[in-house]
Structure 1
Amino acid sequence: MTGIRQAAPHEPIARVLPMLTVPHLDRDFDYLVSAEQSDDAQPGTRVRVRFNGRLVDAFVLERRSDTDHDGRLGWLDRVISAEPVLTAEVRRLTEAVAARYAGTRADVLRLAIPPRHAATEKKPSAAPAELFTPAPDPAGWAAYSGGGRFLGALGEGRAVRAVWQALPGEDWAARFAEAAAAALAGGRSVLAVVPDQRDVDALAAAAARSCDADNVVALSAGLGPAQRYKRWLSVLRGCSRVVIGTRSAVFAPVGELGLVLVWDDGDDTLAEPRAPYPHAREVAMLRAHQLRCAAVIGGYARTAEAQALIDSGWAHDLVAPRATVRARAPRVVALDDDGHAQERDPAARTARLPSIALRAARTALAAERPVLVQVPRRGYVPSLACARCRTVARCRGCTGPLALIGGHDGAQCRWCGRADPTLRCAKCGSTEVRAVVVGARRTAEELGRAFPGTAVITSSAETGLATVGAGPALVIATPGAEPPAPDGYGAALLLDSWALLGRADLRAAEDTLRRWLAAAALVRPAGDGGVVTVVAEASIPTVQSLIRWDPAGHARAELAARAEVGLPPAVHMAALDGSGAAVAALLAESGLPAPDSGAEVFGPVELPAGARRPAGLDADVEVIRMLVRVPRGGGLALAGALRRATAVTSARREHPPVRVQIDPLRIG
């Protein structure tokens, strides 16, 4: 802009939030607005400002007539767009998420608002669809105790909250679509968050039938920048009333929101891997609480976090009667359920494919029905160990894990790709190896030999199938990639249970049951011959929960066990990752180690296996983890103390940044 700038005649000051990466600058700044910029620089718009000698992007938070800044104010450099992309509701949610997870508002806004696509923004969105939607058929929800009343409450616009336990074989997408239709019939919008693209597609198709396709929009990371921004703008402009997407869609600017839906909240993909690491379930429930709207968490399984919502009274337990569950569930058989079988097959306890599993598969195939085989890992043999001392085989170049990529290709590093044709144990010198985990490809090879002439189909996250045919076939799938069969599977084999249950992970049992139930839910009921064989001992509590089809009981037991030892969600816990000096400085500044803070500090310990190193640290710097635990009611105080301490230590610049995660999925 040339010449003398004239300030806007009305509210000449814009309070903005610069999109800066440093925590100590997570605050508002005032800038002057010129008369030429005044019409466009409205609250919620994107602008550019000069900050510390460089131009940075920012959002206008409000227009003001006065300022509390004592010095001279700078001018807005320019208005990037007049589109108010930051709504008041999303701004309030952003501030709450930053406070809940000890993060910065700029980091949350990067998750909430997609990058601008100028050409798309200049085009008008389609006209809003008709708001009228007929009330859905309540027959599907009638199978659940109180399901009909729940659907009626949604139609009345009431803020009902529920944790829904889906029945075996349930068409969850149809039930969610009916709930969305009920909310639409009451004049309210709907937001649904699901784990992956396959779930997005299934729910979008069901919602298009129940809610009119013109009302439905699907948001996901797989869309290109232009298409994603176009759909996001249609939500912002009120043209779409049913919004379905993966984890980032939880921030979508849905107007008149009346219902928030979350499916399968135990799936890891709903946890954001970028700072401040929010979980979509928590953000969705926080949003429902702020807006006083209805909310549903649904799944075949149940997390301890969902059970905690029921126990606190925040949500109702929406389940079917036990008689209905037994009628819908397949028969579940564990290794030692049949003593005679054990006598006939003494090696069943150690065999990967015991005779009890092979018989179930043969029976289903003879009845012209497909068989589902769930294996924990994709690939051929993704992990090797010494046959003598059980030391994991690692690459001599980068220490990465060695795997068999194909049946005769030799060992290869999964990190750097280096081949190792002459395997020798670094600990005992043995040249003999064993498989730690057998992958889907090797399993398909083994079953192909066991069932000659039967079609063998593989499905994984990379090559996932939408569905399989109704004829006899062996479908080898990794967890989460099991394709449904038109009339249900005749049998399911759940292999390598030790690889899931034996993980050193707080959520190992919960996650294992979730994966098993997702596969078993695709099998026909026991009355139609459906059988699920789990290669594990029936005495294991998780196996018992599968046999009884009691995910709610398992969640209650899991929550009680965590409460007994002081683990989330019974408490709140922060994980601090960084150099020893940086973590110590952060804790000292926070005041959390003080006896009167109510916090307990644990550590230091090494980073958990698989955890990424914090950014900005040299490779030779040792990274430690400290844990801070507070009672459940002290979560906001914990996050607030760490947030303030992070800002202070960031301003001092004496140590590299410390990664702060509140209630991380993986603690150790």
Structure 2
Amino acid sequence: MEKGAVHEQLALVRARVSAPPKPVQPAEDRPVARIAVDLEPPHLDRYFDYAVPAKLAETAQPGVRVRVRFAGRLVDGFLIERCESSDFTGSLVPIERVLSPEPVLSPDLLALARQVADAYSGTLADVLRLVIPPRHAATEAEKPSPRPLGPIQAPDPAPWSAYPGGAGFLGALASGEAPRAVWTVLPNSDAYGALAAAVQATLAGGRGAVVIAATGRDVARIDLALTKALGEGRHVALTADLGAAERYRRWLALSRGQVRAVVGTAAAQFAPIDSLGLVAIWDDADSGHATRLAPYPHAREVLLMRAHQAKAGALIAGYTATAEAAHLVQRHWARPLAAPRAVVRDHTPRVFALNEERGRDRELNPGAVAGHLPPQAIRLAREALAHGPVLVQVPRSGYRPRLACAQCRETARCAHCNGPLAQPGPRQDPKCGWCGRAATPWSCRNCNGVALRSRATGVHRSAEELGRAFPGTLVRESNAARGVIDVVPGEPALVLATPGAEPLADGGYAAALLLDAPEILNLPTLRAAEQAVRRWLGAAALVRPASRGGAVLLCADGTLPAAQAVLRWDPAAFARRELADRTELGYPPSARIAELTGPYPALREILDLADLPDGAQLLGPVPVQRAGEQTERILVRCDRADGARLAKALKSALGVRTAKHGADPVWIRIDPVDLA
């Protein structure tokens, strides 16, 4: 092409780029659209006005997904409302297109998302990513499958007969009231059936229900109970591991009102339910209920917001109780639902600790109490195997997850990165838990010793030791590495599992051994004791009642408060004690704590900009690891009544800093569950 022709083409391109956009004919009715644009920066967490072109007037309705131009680039958003005019004095940019005419963001969901964003110092865009799943166009275009018609009958109150007030709770749900309860579940009872009955009562009263569990296994069991109670097609199950199409299909069934009940993991906590009548959470002590994406909301808190917003009933259920649940009872926001002590004794196995009833073992072997497999455990397992399977809970995965110098007992560390060493298998070399390098040869930096010993025993080595102790006995493992088993038959076998991976046993376990209990108690977190009680009771609840010979050995000092909660099977009393201790020390739920993580100069800038509540305390900074990098952490603590002001102040400060183009990121979490 000649040089003159090239210049002519470039001139045409420049003319097209610099030419003003063609005027767009606006819609006659409500020509202004208020849009929640999907933007990351906190200082842009607000609605923006756009013009509604006449050609989009029919499809551009509140709640639909749209695409708009912002700062020269196309971004997605949600249409919040249509207005007659705008406060903006310039020319409004028109909406580029409506991505789908499906109204996916209802006013109730929008109000909930805004409330969650404000409570957790997050942005509306962050929360909306959790609220609404990605669109699947082919699924959206499908013809809805037919759903069962006809009324739902009131449930049989039999599963609730052991709990005083249980039948009244079901009746209140069925009559449209908003009962709120903290339910301490009896072991060896139809817990999932009782939960399904509560959902059935809610649906029979013409309202919807949301049930949240932390694991897919619990969701599957509740799903089965709901199908049995309601019949096919009356509810859906939502989990994160569903494919994009199926997840969106089930979400649409809820959004369109085809079904009014859902059970799921954290992915279902924002499920769109019309006329919500019940929110329920199973085992709220499970750390899996804390969302791992910004702004890191906890499912229990989200459900309580929904209950308040919709004037719905609420049910916090589990074998144990949290300090947060005890706080709700203390404030009379909820009432306890628990069986009388005589009924509890009829349902629970016999539980004893190492220092109870077994004094003669200590006299014969003073070190037995501290051993990984004390004689009491071996004897109980041998006696119980004659009657059925025996559950063995081992708190650590792997083979030898922690190693130490055999000579000076110092923690064995990697010569390259100073990470802790572990042995992954019986015939494998020790490896670093941080960089993965093999530590051969190895020598202790403290005493130059070359021999290693175990500081902790994992589930694989425990299975090896028990296999030698019980030759000819079937040994099963249930853990993330070897696969989680859902159900085991009622034949004699040793079933070793890490916490949370314990299978159900046909007819219940004859006995359970809770090994290395101090490993859980000594975790460096605020909730170590609470988690210990939850894990021990969760395993013990799978054992037959004492009337059928069921027994549980807790390998811990029975005088500890956490152990006493298990020995007496009184998790509610332990939760009240835990609440009192946290109140005295100024920790959640009696106080609010914000965790700020990032480089110290960035943290200092945020705190200087924030208008913190009067009396707010700063704790730190302390060095922490995040994503493998060394950074700093500061905690901000205030009274519970000032929690909303604290969240607002930090979000505002973060927005100001972002507007100034602060380079280093800062992460904010409100009341983190893993607070060390």
Whole-angstrom distance in 2 between the partners of 1:603 and 1:525: 48
Query: Please, which moves more after superposition, 32-41 or 510-519?
Result: 32-41
Cα distance per residue 1:559-613 (max 9 Å; x no partner)? 0000111111110111111111111111111122xxx723112211222xx6547
- Paired with 1:235 and 1:573, the residues of 2 have a C-alpha distance of 35
Aligned to 1:645: 653
Encode CA deviations 1:323-345: one digit per residue, 9 max, x unaligned: 00111111111011022332233
Distance in 2 between residues matched to 1:222 and 1:413, nearest whole Å: 31
CA gap of 1:314–1:120, structure 2 versus 1, over 3 A, is same
Aligned to 2:520, the other structure's residue is in SS state: helix
1:508-587 equivalences under 5 Å are 508-587=528-607
- Please give the alpha-carbon distance, in whole angstroms, between the structure 2 residues aligned to 1:425 and 1:230: 58
- The one of 313, 327, 333 equivalent to 2:346 is 327
Alignment correspondent of 2:466: 447
Q: Deviation digits for residues 295-335 of structure 1, max 9, x if unmatched?
A: 10000011101111111111110000000011111111101
Comparing 566-575 with 343-352, which one deviates more in the overlay?
343-352
1:19-47 deviations in Å (ceiling 9; x for gaps): 11111111110000111111111111111
Query: Which of residues 48, 70, 76 in structure 2 aligns to 1:57?
Result: 76
SS of the residue 2:669 aligns to: strand
Aligned to 1:291: 310
Q: CA deviation at 1:133?
A: 1.4
Following superposition, the deviation at residue 389 of structure 1 comes to 3.5
Structure 1 contact 330–525 (Cα < 8 Å) conserved: yes
Letter in 1 for 2:291: E
CA distance in 2, matches of 1:219, 1:176: 17
Question: Among residues 643, 652, 666, which one is paired with 1:658 in the alignment?
Answer: 666
Please, what TM-score do these two structures have when normalized by structure 2? 0.95
How far apart are residue 396 of structure 1 and its match?
Answer: 3.4
User: Does the CA-based 8 Å contact 2:159-2:191 persist in structure 1?
Assistant: no
Deviation at 1:105, TM superposition (A): 0.5
1:126/1:234 contact within 8 Å kept: no
| 1:623 aligned onto 2:631 | yes
Distance in 2, Cα, partners of 1:73 & 1:244:
43
Partner of 1:603: 620
The one-letter code matched in structure 1 to 2:651 is: R
3-state secondary structure, aligned to 1:135: coil
Taking the aligned partners of 2:356 and 2:621, their CA distance within structure 1 comes to 44
Distance 1:389 1:83, change over 3 A: farther
1:457 maps onto 2:476 in alignment: yes
Per the alignment, residue 616 of structure 1 pairs with none
Q: How far 1:424 moved relative to its partner?
A: 1.9
Distance 1:399 1:53 in 2: 49
Mapping for residues 50-199 of structure 1, pairs under 5 Å: 50-130=69-149, 132-199=151-218
State the shift of 1:430 in Å: 1.6
Q: Tell me the distance in 2 between the aligned counterparts of 1:324 and 1:283.
A: 33
Partner SS for 1:532: strand
Return the alpha-carbon distance in structure 2 between the equivalents of residues 434 and 64 of structure 1.
72
Asked whether the 8 Å contact 1:125–1:233 carries over to 2, the reply is: no
Cα deviation, residue 471, structure 1:
0.6
Q: CA deviation at 1:478?
A: 0.6
The AA in structure 2 aligned to 1:184 is: L
CA distance in structure 2 between the partners assigned to 1:554 and 1:582 by the alignment: 40
Partner SS state of residue 158, structure 2: coil
Aligned-residue Cα RMSD (Å) equals: 1.6
Unaligned runs of 5+ in 1: 614-618
More deviation, 466-475/386-395: 386-395
Is the partner of 1:215 in helix, strand or coil? coil
Confirm whether residue 506 of structure 1 aligns to residue 514 of structure 2. Answer: no
Task: Answer yes or no: is the 8 Å Cα contact 1:461–1:480 preserved in 2.
Answer: no
Q: What secondary structure sits across from 1:637 in the alignment?
A: helix
In structure 2, give the amino acid aligned to 1:514: R
What is the CA distance between 1:355 and its match in structure 2?
A: 1.1
Q: How many angstroms apart in 2 are the aligned matches of 1:397 and 1:317?
A: 54
Q: Secondary structure at the match of 2:281?
A: strand
> Could you tell me how far apart the structure 2 residues matched to 1:157 and 1:41 are?
35
Q: Structure 1 residues 638, 438: closer, same or farther in 2, change over 3 A? A: same
CA distance in 1, matches of 2:157, 2:213: 23
* Partner in structure 2 of residue 412 of structure 1: 431
> After alignment, is 301-310 or 385-394 more displaced?
385-394
> What secondary structure, in the 3-state scheme, does the structure 2 residue paired with 1:50 have?
strand
The one-letter code of the counterpart of 2:623 is E
In structure 2, relative to structure 1, the CA distance for the partners of 1:370 and 1:578 (3 Å cut) is same
Q: Distance in 2 between matches of 1:19 and 1:390?
A: 54
SS in 2 for 1:363: helix
SS in structure 2 of the partner of residue 305 of structure 1: helix
Among the aligned pairs, what percent are the same residue?
49
CA contact (8 A) 1:501 1:509 kept: yes
1:402 offset after TM fit, Å?
2.3
The answer as to 2:516 corresponding to 1:496 is yes
Number of the residue aligned with 2:6: none
Distance 2:47 2:59 in 1: 19
Q: Distance in 2 between matches of 1:131 and 1:387?
A: 71
Q: 2:245 aligns to what SS in structure 1?
A: helix
Residue of structure 1 in register with 2:3 after alignment = none
Note if 1:350 corresponds to 2:358.
no
Secondary structure at the aligned position of 2:621 is classed as strand
CA contact (8 A) 2:412 2:420 kept: yes
1:519 is paired with a residue whose SS is helix
3-state secondary structure, aligned to 2:99:
strand
Pairs within 5 Å for 1:303-318: 303-318=322-337
Q: Aligned pairs, how many?
A: 655
Q: Residue 375 of structure 1 corresponds to which residue in structure 2?
A: 394
Cα deviation for residue 401 of structure 1 reads 3.1
Kindly state the Cα deviation for residue 140 of structure 1 after the two structures are TM-superposed.
Answer: 1.2
Shift of 1:4: 4.5
1:129–1:240: 8 Å Cα contact kept in structure 2? no
Counterpart residue identity of residue 277, structure 1:
Y
CA apart distance, 1:360: 1.0
Name the amino acid aligned to 2:372. R
* 1:253, distance to aligned residue in structure 2 (A): 0.7
CA contact (8 A) 1:125 1:237 kept: no
1:201 equivalent in alignment to 2:220: yes
Aligned counterparts of 2:447 and 2:102: Cα–Cα separation in 1: 66
Task: Please tell me whether the aligned partners of residues 304 and 559 of structure 1 are also in contact (alpha carbons under 8 angstroms).
Answer: yes
Shift of 1:655: 4.4
Q: Secondary structure at the match of 1:260?
A: strand
- Rate the CA distance shift 1:576–1:379 in 2: closer, same or farther, 3 A: same
User: How much does 1:276 deviate?
Assistant: 0.6
Q: Which AA in structure 1 matches 2:443?
A: R
Task: Give the direction of change, closer, same or farther, for the CA distance of 1:125–1:390 in structure 2 (3 Å limit).
Answer: farther
> Residues 334 and 536 of structure 1 are in contact (CA less than 8 Å); yes or no, is this contact kept in structure 2?
yes
Listed one character per residue, the Cα deviations across residues 335-375 of structure 1 (whole Å, up to 9, x for unaligned) are: 110223322332221211111111111111112x0000000
Give the letter for the 1:644 counterpart: S
Q: Please report how far the alpha carbon of residue 429 of structure 1 lies from its aligned counterpart in structure 2 after TM superposition.
A: 2.0
State the distance in 1 between where 2:675 and 2:395 align. Answer: 21
Deviation at 1:219, TM superposition (A): 0.4
* Equivalent residue number for residue 270 of structure 1: 289
Structure 1 553/129 Cα, relative in aligned 2: closer, same or farther at 3 Å? same
Q: Rg larger in 1 or in 2?
A: 2
Q: 1:422 to 1:170 in 2, by over 3 A?
A: farther
**TM-aligned CA deviation for residue 461 of structure 1:** 3.5
Q: What's the TM-score once normalised by structure 1's chain length?
A: 0.96
Distance 1:417 1:643 in 2: 39
AA aligned opposite 2:279: V
SS at match of 1:235: helix
Alpha-carbon separation, structure 2, partners of 1:549 and 1:604? 40
